[in-house]
Structures are given as structure tokens and as C-alpha cells.
Amino acid sequence: MIADAAVWAWVGFVAMAAGTVAPLWAWLSRDASGESHAKYYLTLAGVTGIAALAYLAMGLGVGVVSTPGGDLEIVRYVDWLLTTPLLLLYLGLLARPSRGVLAGLIGVDVVII
């Protein structure tokens, strides 16, 4: 069972690393039109980049705590703790809610995780 999880972790690493390339490429090749989308590209690259590192750690077996009920992958929770606020931030960049609403959403998200 652990071998299957490691294979899927490596698949996740490759997929997330590949998914990080597009927003980084867009950020690096931004045009001189004056309108900057850097914060959008970097936010998206942050989400997939952090996830790629988390999957890499899981593939290497780092951050696993053994409990009587089974193995607990702490890295997965750290990944969620970092990436879900970034996803909410990205949605906030698109929808433009007030800072208070966005901060409240991110705060609730962190508490839930």
C-alpha cells in the first residue's frame, strides 16, 4: 500500500511541477503594456509550486508520522495550510472583495485546516 502511495506522490510531484511552469513562464515573459498581472501569475505559481514540494516530500517519505491508526502525512496538512489561503487570495484578486472579507475567509480557512 505504501508503494502505491509513493507512486502517486511522484505522479503528483511531476504534475504540480509541470503546472508551475505555465504561470512562471507567463510571469517571466510579461509584456510592456503597462498592465501587470504578476501577482496573479506568482500566486498561481505559489500554489502549484508548494504542492509540488509537498508531493516531493511525500514521495521521499519525509514528514510521515506513524500512529496506531496508520501513517499520518503531516506534509499534506502543511501543504493545505499554505496553498488554500493562496487559492482564496487568487479568487480575491479576481472578485475584489473588501480586505476584511478576504482576511476573514482566509482566517476561517486556516482555522478549519
The pLDDT of residue 78: 96
The pLDDT of residue 32: 59
Domain count, the chain: 1
DSSP-assigned states of every residue in 61-82? TTTEEEETTEEEEHHHHHHHHH
The pLDDT of residue 96: 95
The pLDDT of residue 1: 47
Domain that holds residue 72: 2-112
pLDDT tens figures, 14-29: 999 999 999 999 988 8
For the domain that residue 57 is a member of, what is the CATH number? 1.20.1070.10
Given a cut of 70, the residues of the chain with pLDDT beneath it are: 1-2, 31-35
The grid cell for 82 is 499554505
